[in-house]
Structure 1
Amino acid sequence: MIQDTRHALVEAAIIVFNEDFSAALEKVAERAGTTRRTLHRYFRDRKELMIECEAEMQKACRIANESAYQLSEEPIERLENMFNAGLECGVKSAFLRKLHHQYGHEHKTHSKTCKEYDQTTSLWRIHMVSLREKGLINKELSMCWIDSFFYSIVEATTNMNGGDDKQKLHQLAWYSFSKGIGL
């Protein structure tokens, strides 16, 4: 039960802080179905909770991306699999990027969390660069633009609560992304 509560608090924090980085810890506890007092039994403060959130997001996204990469040898299928893994990570993927590109973050290659972020995103970047060099995607698109485009689609898809079914949303997201990069 301890691990379940801890995990629920981390998952709730990822959702709450992705929507509002400055949200009160009470919102996190409420989302997790517990109290702030219980939250503090597991985490001393917001910083400790954020460290745990970041570690969870790194792990989940890295595993999803690496698993997706292994599903195919064909470059475009591999890209689609990795794209779908990013969609599956959803809020975790979007929030992880926000942490490393917003909120006053200064990316430092010697920082442990920055190294882990680079490791989490490196397979995606290496594959995208390879596709661009092979002429399979538009060579004029910078990696910065491709990354921003990808994460905006992830966020838009994640924010689509209800309405379309998940499979249809993933198909629409892939269609938008693939056309946007010139496939």
Structure 2
Amino acid sequence: MKVTKEKLIDAAVVALNSDESATIEQIANVAGVTRRTVHRYFNDRNTLVQECKETMLRVCNLNMTGAYHSSEQPAVQLENMFYAALEVGIQYSFVKKLVKRNQYTDLMNNHELAYDNVKADWFKLIDLLQQQGAINRTLSIPWIYNLFGGMVDIAIEAQQAGDVARNDIRKFAWTSFKGSIGLQ
């Protein structure tokens, strides 16, 4: 087996999803390599965790962008973006816990938002759906933003706890989210 940086990151994700305090040794065991091999690619555990975070953000942006462009219908775009966020959230659940969602106001005031097309597209999509009357207009975009992230968090917790059949999680989470914002 050829060891690559990507394979070590994948192993770290598996190990850290099971145990957020997993050591380099435990990550190496999941990868089927020695601790020394892991250290060839990463100076320390923090560097490896940071690489996992950056990988998650890249995957999330790619999947959310694809979901946004998957349809011309705003409600379908939002649903597909929800599923993309859910899948990435489940895949990288330990990273999601480390990366707290930014406050909506911080995002809107942050100059970096101009470079983050995914968030900007999501905000525009919600605004458009409200203008069309498809989403309850009494709900603010910051509230909807937190509902979106919160519903993803709840779905991840349900999946990890095994309380809900894995096949039902997507359906239940989407039904709950769209109902909470008045989307038909």
**TM surpasses 0.5:** yes
Question: How far has the Cα of 1:178 moved from its partner?
Answer: 0.5
Task: In structure 1, list runs of 5 or more residues that go unmatched.
Answer: none
Larger radius of gyration: 2
Identity %: 36
The 1:127–1:115 alpha-carbon spacing in structure 2 relative to 1, beyond 3 Å, is closer
**Higher mean C-alpha displacement, 114-123 vs 169-178:** 114-123
TM-score, reference length from structure 1: 0.73
Distance, in Å, in 1 between the alignment partners of 2:101 and 2:40 is: 31
Distance, in Å, in 2 between the alignment partners of 1:180 and 1:56 is: 31
Please give the root-mean-square deviation of Cα atoms over the aligned residues, in Å.
Answer: 3.3
The 1:152–1:139 alpha-carbon spacing in structure 2 relative to 1, beyond 3 Å, is same
SS at match of 1:140: coil
Question: How far has the Cα of 1:115 moved from its partner?
Answer: 6.0
Could you tell me which residue of structure 1 aligns to residue 52 of structure 2? 53
Assess if the C-alpha contact under 8 Å between 2:12 and 2:52 holds in 1. Answer: yes
Question: How far has the Cα of 1:116 moved from its partner?
Answer: 9.5
Could you tell me which residue of structure 2 aligns to residue 164 of structure 1? 165
Question: How far has the Cα of 1:43 moved from its partner?
Answer: 0.6
Query: Pairwise mapping of residues 129-140 of structure 1 onto structure 2 (< 5 A)?
Result: 129-140=127-138
Query: Pairwise mapping of residues 1-183 of structure 1 onto structure 2 (< 5 A)?
Result: 1-3=2-4, 6-14=5-13, 17=16, 23-91=22-90, 95-96=95-96, 98-101=98-101, 109=110, 118-159=116-157, 160-161=159-160, 162=162, 164-166=165-167, 168-183=168-183
Distance, in Å, in 2 between the alignment partners of 1:97 and 1:130 is: 30
Task: In structure 2, list runs of 5 or more residues that go unmatched.
Answer: none
Question: How far has the Cα of 1:66 moved from its partner?
Answer: 1.4
TM-score, reference length from structure 2: 0.73
